[in-house]
Structure 1
Amino acid sequence: MHAFIASAHTFVGRRKHNEDAYLLDPEEGVFAVADGMGGYAGGEVASRLAVESLAEFFQHVTADADATWPYGLDPALSLAENRVDAAVRLANRRICQGRQGELRDMGSTIALVSLLGSSAIVAHLGDSRVYRLREGTDGPALEQLTRDHSLYEQLRAGGVAMPPLAEFSYANVITRALGPQEEERPELHRIELRAGDRLLLCTDGLTGPLAPETIAALLAAGPVEEVCERLVHEAFLAGSRDNITAIVVAVVD
Structure 2
Amino acid sequence: MTAQLEAFLLSDIGRRRAQNQDSGGSFPEIGLFVVADGMGGHRGGEVASKIAVDTIHEVAATNLKHGKSSAEALTEGAKHANLRIMDRAKKEPDLEGMGTTTTSLRFEDGKVFIGHVGDSRCYLLKREGIWQLTRDHSLVQEKLRAGMITREQLKTDRMKNVITRSVGFDLHFGIDVYEYAPEAGDLFLLCSDGLTGPLEDADIHEIATRIYYAAIDTDEFKGREHGFEPLLKSLAESLVAAANDRGGDDNITALIARYPGKSP
Instruction: Tell me the TM-score normalized by structure 2.
Output: 0.85
The CA distance in 2 between the partners of 1:108 and 1:50, in whole Å, is 8
Gaps of 5+ in 2: 213-230
Q: Name which of 151, 157, 168 aligns with 2:139.
A: 151
**Partner of 1:96 in structure 2?**
86
* Cα displacement (A) at 1:106: 0.2
| Runs of at least 5 residues in structure 1 that lack an aligned partner in the other structure | 67-77
In 1, the alpha carbon distance for the partners of 2:8 and 2:188 equals 11
Q: Contact between 2:165 and 2:174, CA under 8 Å: does it hold in 1?
A: no
Q: Distance in 1 between matches of 2:126 and 2:21?
A: 31
Question: Counterpart amino acid of 1:81?
Answer: A
TM-superposed deviation, 1:85: 0.8
Aligned residues: 237
Which residue of the other structure, out of 153, 169, 185, is the alignment partner of 1:180?
A: 169
Identity of aligned residues (%): 35
**1:197 aligned onto 2:198:** no
Q: Secondary structure at the match of 1:155?
A: helix
**Corresponding position: 1:112 with 2:104:** yes
Quote the residue 1:168 is aligned against.
157
Moved beyond 2 Å, runs of 4+: 1-4, 58-62, 161-166, 219-222
SS of 1:17's equivalent?
coil
Tell me, yes or no, if structure 1 residue 60 matches structure 2 residue 62. yes
Task: Verify: 1:32 aligned to 2:8, yes or no.
Answer: no
Q: Paired residue for 1:22?
A: 24
Do the aligned partners of 1:88 and 1:185 also contact (CA within 8 Å) in 2?
no
- Contact 2:42–2:95 (CA<8 Å) still a contact in 1? no
- How far the C-alpha of 1:60 sits from its partner, in A, is 3.0
Q: Distance in 2 between matches of 1:249 and 1:194?
A: 13
- Matched residue type, 2:11: T
Counterpart of 1:97 in structure 2: which amino acid?
D
- C-alpha root-mean-square deviation of aligned residues, in Å? 1.7
Using the TM superposition, give the Cα deviation of residue 157 of structure 1 relative to its aligned residue in structure 2, in angstroms.
Answer: 0.8
Question: Residue deviations 1:62-108, cap 9 Å, x none?
Answer: 5x538xxxxxxxxxxx8321121111111111111122311110000
Of residues 159-168 and 6-15 in structure 1, the stretch that sits farther from structure 2 once superposed is 159-168
**Partner of residue 9, structure 1:** 10
